[in-house]
Structure 1
Amino acid sequence: MFDWLNTLFLPAENPTVTQSIVVLMLAIGTGVFFGRLKLGKISFGVSAVMFIGLILGHFGYRIQGEILDFIRDFGLILFVYGIGLQVGPSFFSSFRNEGLKFNILAVSTVLFGGLITIILFKFTGLKIENLVGIMSGSVTNTPGLGAGKSTIEEIKNTFPNKVFDDPTIGYAITYPLGVFGIIGTIIFSKFLLKIDPDQEMRKFRLSKINSELPLVHKKLRVTNPEFFGKTLREVLKEFENEIVVSRLKHSGDVTVKSPTSDMELRDRDVLMVVGLEKKLDEFIAKVGRLSTDIFIESDSEILKKYIFVTKPSVIHKNLSQLDLFNTYDLKVTRVFRAGREILPRPSLELFYGDKLRVIGSKEAIKEVEEMMGNSEKKLLEPDFLSLFGGLLLGVILGSIPIFIPSLPVPIKLGFAAGPLIVALLISRYGGISFIHSYVNNGAIYFMKDFGICLFFAAVGIHAGDGFYENFVKYNGWIWLLYGSAITFIPLITMVIVGRFFMKINYLQLAGIMSGSYTDPAALSFSTNFLDSDIPIQSYAQVYPLVTIFRIFVASLLILIFS
């Protein structure tokens, strides 16, 4: 009577499509459940899906070969594309600040791990594909494994008789070591270095440079006779558009105006200025003093509102082209993009999804709303044309063969690096034609987590097939020893160099450790363990470049030494 139920849920050597889907859902659902359970402050998150997949594969559950390959590759594409969109804006801007130093440390760690892998290859007699799997698992790097497997397939297409071992076996054996190794290093380094998270937080705040501080507004009363009769353009010239004057009120008057650049200052004028706090303090000290005037904040004459950029006709135009003040008597005081607050300089180019804070009359705001679109509902709707257009470009870029002399086959960016690079560029430049960079945060998190769940389930179920036999056959304990060298030697070196030579704040260093090993589980642990969100920032700064280098290192090792 319940044969159909047995058919659906019991292992099958040659599963149907329906059975394959059930196994996939079983792996993801059970994995997500166990991933939410905490052991102290440690939780595995979505990485638990791979371990459940290993168990299911070990007990005979299977997915059809073609379906498994599709799920694995499509999941990886979704995951890296979501990461690229999420961290792209901060990735490029970070290079002007601490990002260059962080990325040098992180990439050096990646290359050091590759060097240790080469040394192990020379002295252990293991095949390079096994060592690439061990390396990818030891540093919990999923895209590197995907790139290694893609490179093997390319070589097989050129040399059909060449036989390779599956790097997934080494990856599955050493992946738990990678997760616990990074977490253990964060714990022990904190105690050995006698780190006080509160003290590190204070140091971090003191060391923050102005470009990273949020925009603020202050009120200024003009008292310096040197500036009486001068236009705002002349006064602001030496500050190079770093300050916006959003409101002006003449002394003794209750009328608040949105001033033009040719408006002249008078004695005891009150200004509302927006910018970085240090710049504002310098400006106020030069022109006058802080004001406590409350009338300038009155909304009786001037309204303020947030407007979203959703109409194609204004996308990729800069503020000087739109000339909102002269055309509509309306001033933009701030622009919000991808979680960042940007000063509205005339050269600032508008992207789809930007949120503008504007001040002006009710009629002016209404006209600009119509011009900008201001459809928040539209931003909540998924733009599948942009999403799949971007994914298509990523797949095309990842499939372009790059010919390198002396290598047997051309190298490709693959399904990991191609979509990642496209997402970074799209988020940096706001889109390409009809492909926009804006995707709401909920959609990005869903795409990332759904993609990595698909990948982990496919990889785990495939690796679980004969996992115990492979562990015994390949002497898994020895492989764990090799993986320990790849995990701990670069990581400990990073802590020493980063802390004592580069003088990096430990809260940031914890994020760089997690980012260098592309380990979201370690990042989640470090934010709870250190009671700070600072590690997330440095993780995002190094993750894209580290991922690209992990992909190239894995591919090149197989191409050169196979």
Structure 2
Amino acid sequence: MLDWMYRLIFPSETPDVTQSLVVLLLAISIGFFVGRIKVKGITLGVSAVMFVGLGLGHYGYRINAAILEFVRNFGLILFVYGIGIQVGPSFFSSFKKEGIRFNILAVATVLFGGFITFLLFKFSTISIENAVGLMSGSVTNTPGLGAAKETLTEIQKQFPSKSFSDPTIAYAITYPLGVFGIIITIILAKTLLKINLGKESFTCDATTTPATTLIIHQKCRVTNEAFFGKSIYQVLKEVNIQDIIISRLKNSGSQVVYAPSLDTKIHNKDVLMVVGSPAAVSQFIEAVGKVSSDLFIESEQDIVTKNLFVTKSAATHKTLAELDLYNKFDLKVTRVFRSGMELLAQPTLELFYGDKIRIVGNKEAIVEAEKIIGNSEKKLLEPDFLSLFGGLIIGMIIGSIPFFIPSLPVPIKLGFAAGPLLTALFISRYGGVGVIHSYINNGAVYFMKDLGICLFFAAVGVHAGEGFYDNFIHYNGWLWIYYGCYITFIPLIAMVLIGRLVLKLNFYQLVGLMSGTYTDPAALAFSTKYLDSDIPTQAYATVYPLVTIFRIFVAQLLILLLV
């Protein structure tokens, strides 16, 4: 009577659709539970789904072949697209600061790891597909594994007589090594390099990227007679500070506060509300007067401050100068919040769908401006599947474009890993393509990333688990772990020495670069707790996209050149 339950729950060599879905859900749900278990403050996180999948596969659970291929590829696409959307804006802006140095060091480390993988293939009996699996596992890079499997599938279609090993086995064997290898290196580097965390934190607070992009406001009382009777435009020109906005002005002896234009003249003891970077604001106040303690200028009686969301096409992809809110409504935009970044509202700044802008002005005027800008938070909460799946389609098309290179057995493609990632990076950088926009709320991005990686890990884990134990014995898994140590530790040690002794990088930033170069969120989570700082996260996000792309290309090229 309960045969249907038995077929649904227990292993089957020929599973149908329902049984396959149950196995996927089992791997993901049990994996999430296991991933939350802490051992000395360290968790496996979402990667535990793959290890649970290996266990299920080893004990006879299977997934229908067609479903497995779909789930694996779809999960990978969702994961990398979510990453691109999340870090795109900060990724491109980082190149204006320390990002170039960070990415050169990170990419060089990736290439060095690829070279070591080549040497292992050349001077051992390991096949190139297993060597690439070792490399991807030793640096915990899932997109690289996905690209390798996709490339092997393409070669198999061209040459049906050839057979290849599944790189997932080697990946699964060395993955824990990649996770714990970085953590061990971080701890040893701190001890052997005699890092003073207090000193590192102080110097980092003064030099890191967030300090240069932070936007603050400060009250200034005009006391320098050299600027009496001059317009705000003239004052800014004479003090040679462009990245400043005067959002409010209160004349001396008056309690009336208003949003001034660039033509507004300032006088003795006027109070200004100055908005900009800390350095620019401090420089302006020092030149024009002194810090004021006036409270009337912050009053919401005459003018108010309100945040509005850009949700209408009339404001999307328009610059602040084109919107001209000051001349139309006597409103001043002071800041724009986008993807976790805070931007000064320059006239040339282009607005994207989902941006949050801070406006100062009259209440009635702000209501009128809302009709143009939108400010519909409900609309932002609604999933825009046209933008999401439209972006995924573009990414798949770009990833499927073949590049014919002489002497390679098959054309090289960006694939389902690099194609959607590059597409998401550029869509998030430029705010969209046509009707496809880049805005996806944070909750949806995290859900998409986690769902994608869970589907991928569950699929590859169950599939690899079928022969995991036999392969571990056959190929001597302990020897593979030994080989993986070369790929994990040698580039990592070189990175620490060059980054610290040659480039003189701050240790907090260096730790973030180590985690980002090895695309290891578990190591990042450990480092932020170990150092009690979010600075590693900023360096991690700076290099993650470019590193992921190079990991994908290195994995593909090694297989195409050496298979």
TM-score over 0.5 (shorter chain): yes
Give 1:190 shift: 2.2
Q: Which residue of 1 aligns with 2:177?
A: 177
Relative to the length of structure 1, the TM-score reads: 0.98
The corresponding residue for 1:260 is 261
- Equivalent position of 2:526 in the other structure: 525
Q: Distance in 2 between matches of 1:536 and 1:224?
A: 43
Q: How far apart, CA to CA, are the structure 2 residues paired with 1:349 and 1:382? A: 23
Aligned to 1:118: 118
In the TM superposition, 1:369-384 aligns within 5 A as 369-384=370-385
Using the TM superposition, give the Cα deviation of residue 240 of structure 1 relative to its aligned residue in structure 2, in angstroms: 5.3
Deviations 1:187-225 (A, max 9, x none): 222222233433322221122368624111111122222
Cα distance in structure 2, aligned partners of 1:508 and 1:279: 25
Asked whether the 8 Å contact 2:133–2:145 carries over to 1, the reply is yes
Query: 1:8 aligns to what?
Result: 8
Give the AA of the match of 2:257.
Answer: V
Matches within 5 A, 1:166-205: 166-205=166-205
Correspondence 1:205-220 to 2 at 5 A: 205-208=205-208, 212-220=212-220
Moved more, 354-363 or 290-299: 290-299
Q: Which runs of 5+ in 2 are unaligned?
A: none
1:147-175 Cα offsets, whole Å, 9 max, x none, are 11111111222222222222112112211
Deviations 1:382-428 (A, max 9, x none): 11111111111111111011122332221000111011001100111
- The answer to which of 114-123 and 260-269 deviates more is 260-269
In 1, the alpha carbon distance for the partners of 2:286 and 2:16 equals: 76
**1:50–1:457 Cα contact (<8 Å) kept:** yes
Q: Is the 1:334–1:344 Cα contact (8 Å) retained in structure 2?
A: yes
Q: What amino acid is the match of 1:12? A: S
Instruction: Indicate how the Cα distance of structure 1 residues 240 and 426 shifts in structure 2: closer, same or farther if over 3 A, else same.
Output: farther
Instruction: Give the distance between the partners of 2:59 and 2:409, measured in 1 at CA.
Output: 39
**Once structures 1 and 2 are overlaid, which stretch shifts more, 169-178 or 421-430?**
169-178
- Bigger mean CA offset, 156-165 vs 172-181: 156-165
| Distance in 1 separating the partners of 2:527 and 2:266 | 52
Q: Specify the alignment match of 1:241 in structure 2.
A: 242
Q: Residue type of the partner of 1:60?
A: G
Contact kept, 8 Å, 1:241 with 1:345, in 2: the verdict is no
1:371-520 correspondence to structure 2 within 5 Å: 371-520=372-521
Q: Distance in 1 between matches of 2:299 and 2:168?
A: 65
Deviations, residues 227-270 of structure 1 (Å, cap 9, x unaligned): 22221122223545310011111111111111111112222221
Query: Is this contact kept in 2: 1:249–1:255, CA < 8 A?
Result: yes
Q: Distance in 2 between matches of 1:544 and 1:9?
A: 40
Aligned partners of 1:184 and 1:219: how far apart in 2?
48
Length-normalised TM-score, structure 2: 0.98
**Aligned-partner Cα distance in 2 for 1:421–1:261:** 41
Paired position in structure 2 for 1:360: 361
Structure 1 stretches lacking a partner, 5+ long: none
> In structure 2, how many angstroms separate the alpha carbons of the residues matched to 1:154 and 1:101?
36
Matching of residue 226 in structure 1 with residue 229 in structure 2: no
Structure 1: distance between partners of 2:205 and 2:177: 34
Whether the aligned pair in 1 keeps the contact of 2:241 and 2:284 (CA below 8 Å) is no
Letter aligned with residue 19 of structure 1: Q
Letter in 2 for 1:442: G
Q: Distance in 1 between matches of 2:211 and 2:427?
A: 23
Distance in 2 (alpha carbons) for counterparts of 1:445 and 1:413 = 24
* Matched residue, 2:288: 287
Q: Percent identity?
A: 65
Relative to structure 1, the CA distance from residue 117 to residue 209 in structure 2 (aligned partners, 3 Å threshold; closer, same or farther) is closer
Distance 2:512 2:393 in 1: 31
- Give the conservation status (yes or no) of the 8 Å contact 1:197–1:531: no
**What residue is the counterpart of 1:309 in the other structure?**
310
Which amino acid in structure 2 is aligned with residue 391 of structure 1? L
Matched AA of 2:560: L
**Cα distance between partner residues in 1 of 2:181 and 2:250:** 61
Aligned-partner SS, 1:333: strand
